A and B are shown apart, each in its own frame.
Chain A
Amino acid sequence: MVNFLSRFSIRQQILIGFVPVLLILFFLAFSSFKNYQKFEQNFGLLRTTTQENIIFLQIERDIIELQRNVLVYSYVGYNGVLKKVEFLQTELEKKFEALKPIVESDDDIEQRFQRMVHHYTDYKQSFQQAIIEKNKIAALNNQKYLGLEKEAHQRLNDIINVFLPDEAYKMAYRIGQIEQNLYQTSSYIEGFQKTPDSVLVKETRLLIAEMQKQAEEIAKVTDNSKAQNILNDFQELMKEYRSVFGDITRANRSYLNLVNVVLAGKAAEIGKLSSELDALISKRSENLMGGIQKNSQRLQNQFLVLSFFAAIIGIFSSILIASGIADPVKSMASTLLNLSTGKVDTEIPGQARRDEVGQMAMAANEFKVMAKNLEYQTKELEEFAYRTSHDLRSPLVSSIALLQLTEEAIKEKDYDKARKSISHISTSLKKLEVLVKDILELTKTKNLSEKKTEIFLEKIIDEALLKISHMENFERLSIQKDLKDIGTFLSQKSRITLIVENLLSNAVKYQDLEKEKSVVRISTEKNGNDIVFSVEDNGLGIPEEREKEIFSMFKRFHPKVSFGSGLGLYMMKKSADVLGGQIEYEKSELGTKFKLLIPINYKEIS
């Protein structure tokens, strides 16, 4: 995982680390939003149900109020009360209208509601019927009953007028009684109209019968024909009076039946249904409330669980990022500290990473290589200073001592010793000369900046051979050349010359004089992009255990052959490096083989 992440930059790694957390948070937000929508929906439903509840409660209340007003109206018959009844009806109808679309959602509720509306329609019709009955009573009362009463009073007046004064006086009491009963009756009927009472009906009937009886008695005691005629008329009026009263009573009974039984029953039914509906709706809102509660509980739980996961994943991501970034940075810091204290062999971790840590590691590695080079160069420089001071001084010290020895020998007339001593002085000084020459050459090699010119390698080889031909034992060499046609190429001539000359002069210097013949094979060829120049010989060679020191400074491998400074191969190596090529040593069929490889299109090393 860490390896996978390390191909991204640190910023990207942190972002990637947060992706799972963000995903969970997004999921959390999304599900919360979904739940919230459900909430809102349920709340909307709850609001509607509560409204329905209220309306049903209002219907219950309104129907009671309506019935009460109907009853009041049935007794007093005031128009104001009727207006109120009508107003209440309108209100109820409005509520039914409002409920109609809402109750459709539930079959049971709708059925009950329809029944309620149906009852209400009946109620309204019955009330219309009641009003008709009531009007009928009023009509009976006004048109017939009052007329009859008036006529009855007139007849009683007429009787008084038809009697002679004596008889009138005798009859006045009886007539007065009838008159009184008539008044009583009229007040009963008036009362009955307001409060229909069976006692009153009975009393009224008795009074009518009483009045008929009294009229009969008056007819019995008189022989006045006119009065008898009037009394007959009165009897007829009473019969009609009775019959009208019967009508009024019947109309009243039917009216009361409508108001007290039918309307009250309907109102009760409506009230009951409304109450039932209210209960149903209440139950529905309870369910809704339960749903909302459950929903909220679920949301809460979901929120808790997801938060927990988000936290865990967050921690996990942080640890991952920390181990992916902080740990390598930490180890990089300690590595850099190590490097800064000069431990140039410190391993630099994280170079395979492709992020900033990897870049740091690569840069640190560059520094390490530079530091190593610098360390190497410093060591080399120290070694160089040490060895040159020693190697320069050594032949001089020897020469001075040898001169003293020579002087003493001459004094002692030991000329043989003096001669030997002088010969050694010469060797020492020659050694010094070689050394000084090589040091100068090396300095030149290190600092020379030379332009590339066209190189004829064969010509350089010939010139070098000519140059070394004066060397001791050159004539022993059997030189074999194997020069392929390599044409010319561009390179730094003086460096190539230095290498060629040194390799060839080494072949002369380090001959194995014990061998019958010294053989040197010089060859050139083109190998891919390289020009290969090699010198192979059967000379003293290099001891195997010393091979790795072969191109180091001041290394000599042959005792007694003391004209080497130990700088030759080192110098060649440096020159080959500058040419972008390399110099190699290998054991060969003949003995030893040195190979110089020069790239034709080399990159110049500054």
Chain B
Amino acid sequence: MAIEVNGKTFETDEEGYLTNINDWEPGVAEAMAKEDDLELTDEHWEIINFLREYYEEYQIAPAVRVLTKAVGKKLGKEKGNSKYLYSLFPYGPGKQACRYAGLPKPTGCI
């Protein structure tokens, strides 16, 4: 599978995750969100960028409960809860936000 962004083709796996994380650019997130009928706001980008930094540091996409805890620590308690994260990413903050961020599916996510 593949996704087309501004005339460039990005290879994805059968679930829509980028095959190569290094290919990622912000346009990929925009295009994926558009397919889900979602408009990315600064709040979405805050989480997407957070995930990219997490991956950079630990080389894994965090499980959703780990993400929730880490977001709370870094961005404040009002954001470190599933209600807030699901309001941004209704298909699941782990899966959906990781996909937009170009990360693999979270480890431990079935």
The answer to whether A and B assemble together is no
